[in-house]
Amino acid sequence: MTQVSLVPILLWVAALAAAGIAIWRGPRPITRGFVVDRLLRYLFVFPLGLQGLWGFAGHVFFPAQSAAAIGWPDTPFQLEVGMANLGLGLASVYAAFRGFEARLAAALAAASFLIGAGLIHIKDIVAEGNFAPGNAGPIMVTDFLTPIAVLVLLFLASDAWRPKSPATLALEAELEVARKAIQDYRDAFSNLGR
């Protein structure tokens, strides 16, 4: 198994192991929010962050080997792909230890880049029969798996899917009554001067 095949697998294993250890050592009782947070943190650190930095190093410092692993010729675009990987890697490591908005921004950038790269790999397999390890191996799988997993976890971490509690619903009803009363008061007050 080549380095190109091994690194994406090892980084996913590292992310799941680190998240598992953090959850095991974390506060009790274990909440779903804590589990989602730790999974996100270590997916941002390993398969997005470190893999982005690994991609940067490969495409910038070892362009001929990187191109050969993908089954493509070495071109000046290697530098551009490497710099995109650098940005993705740094943004992901930053987002790992920040809040929802930073994680969402990094995830959207990662999804755009990685899913686009995955689609190009599939096109190259279909059109050219390119089954090189850097084109059709685990890197192609993680081009889809990583951003999809991160976006699903971010959805679970957001408030968008959670049903509102009875207390929240009651408070919203009270606020609506108060808004209506204020509007009625304003209307009545403005009619006094007419």
Distance CA 147, CA 42 (A): 13
Angle at the Cα of 119 from the Cα atoms of 37 and 81, rounded to 5 degrees = 75
- Is 123 found in the same domain as 148? yes
- 64 with 123, same domain? yes
- Cβ 110 vs Cβ 147: under 8 Å: yes
With vertex at residue 124, the alpha carbon angle to CA 43 and CA 112, rounded to the nearest 5 degrees, is 35
* Total number of domains in the chain: 2
- Report pLDDT for 161: 64
- The proportion of the chain whose per-residue pLDDT surpasses 90, expressed as a percent, equals 82
Using pLDDT thresholds of 50, 70 and 90, give the confidence band for residue 163.
confident
Same domain assignment for residues 93 and 173: no
Q: Are residues 113 and 177 in the same domain?
A: no
pLDDT band at 166 (very low <50, low <70, confident <90, very high): confident
pLDDT in tens, 8-61: 999 999 999 999 999 999 999 999 999 999 999 999 999 999 999 999 999 999
Statement to judge: residues 133 and 190 lie in one domain: no
The answer to whether 143 and 114 have CB atoms below 8 angstroms apart is: yes
Assess whether pLDDT exceeds 90 at residue 192: no
Q: Clarify whether residues 147 and 189 are in a common domain.
A: no
